[in-house]
Amino acid sequence: MATANKNLSDYDKSKLPQAGHLRIGLVVSEWNSQITENLYQGAYDTLLDCGVSEGNITRLNVPGSFELTFGCKKMIKNLEVDAVIAIGSIIRGETKHFDFVASATAQGIKDLNVTFDIPTIFCVLTDETLQQAIDRSGGKHGNKGSEAAVAAIKMAALSAI
C-alpha cells in the first residue's frame, strides 16, 4: 500500500502559500459517513490551522461518492471558491459496483479540473476494507483529509497565477 510508511497528516505549514484569504468548498459524501466525517474533520482542521478563516469554508453534502462531481460542479458555478475538496469513501464489496463508482468518480473529478479554473481535489478513499479506510481517515496512517486540504491550498495558489 502506498501509505504503508506515510502519515497523511504530516505537513509543514511554513512551506505553504498564504491561505488566510482563501475560500474553500468541501463536498462530502454521506455514504460511509464514519469515514467521510473523519476526512471532513481532517480537512477542516488543517484549513483552519493553515489560516483559512472559518467563514471561508463552505460545506455541501451529497448522498454518495458518485454524486460528488455534481456537488462540486454546483459549488464551483454558484459559489465564490478558490478550491473545492471532494470527500468520499468507496469500499470494495462483493460486486463490480466498486469499480464503476470509483472509476466514474475519479473521471468526473478529473473532468472538473479540465473544465474549470477552480481546482477540485480528489479526497476519495478507494479501499479494499473498512479497516484500510479507518487507517487513512484518522487512524494509523493519519488523515487523507488533511493531505487534501494542503493540496487545496497549494492548487488555489497555483490557479491564481
Stated length of the chain: 161
Q: Whole-angstrom Cα distance, residue 124 to residue 90? A: 7
What is the structure's pLDDT at 1? 47
Q: Which residues contact 115 (CB under 8 A, 6 or more apart)?
A: none
Q: When comparing pLDDT for 99 and 160, which is higher?
A: 99
The per-residue pLDDT for range 59-94, each reduced to its tens digit, is: 999 999 999 999 999 999 999 999 999 999 999 977
Residue 97 annotated among the catalytic residues of the structure: yes
As a dihedral over the C-alpha atoms of residue 130, residue 95, residue 147, residue 122, rounded to 10 degrees, the angle is: -160
The per-residue pLDDT for range 141-156, each reduced to its tens digit, is: 889 999 999 999 999 9
Return the domain boundaries, the chain. Answer: 28-159
Of 6, 21, 97, 140, catalytic? 97
What is the structure's pLDDT at 119? 98
The share of the chain scoring above pLDDT 70, in percent, equals: 95
Query: Is residue 114 very low, low, confident or very high in pLDDT (cuts 50, 70, 90)?
Result: very high
The pTM score is 0.93
Q: In this structure, which topology does domain 28-159 adopt according to CATH?
A: Rossmann fold (3.40.50)
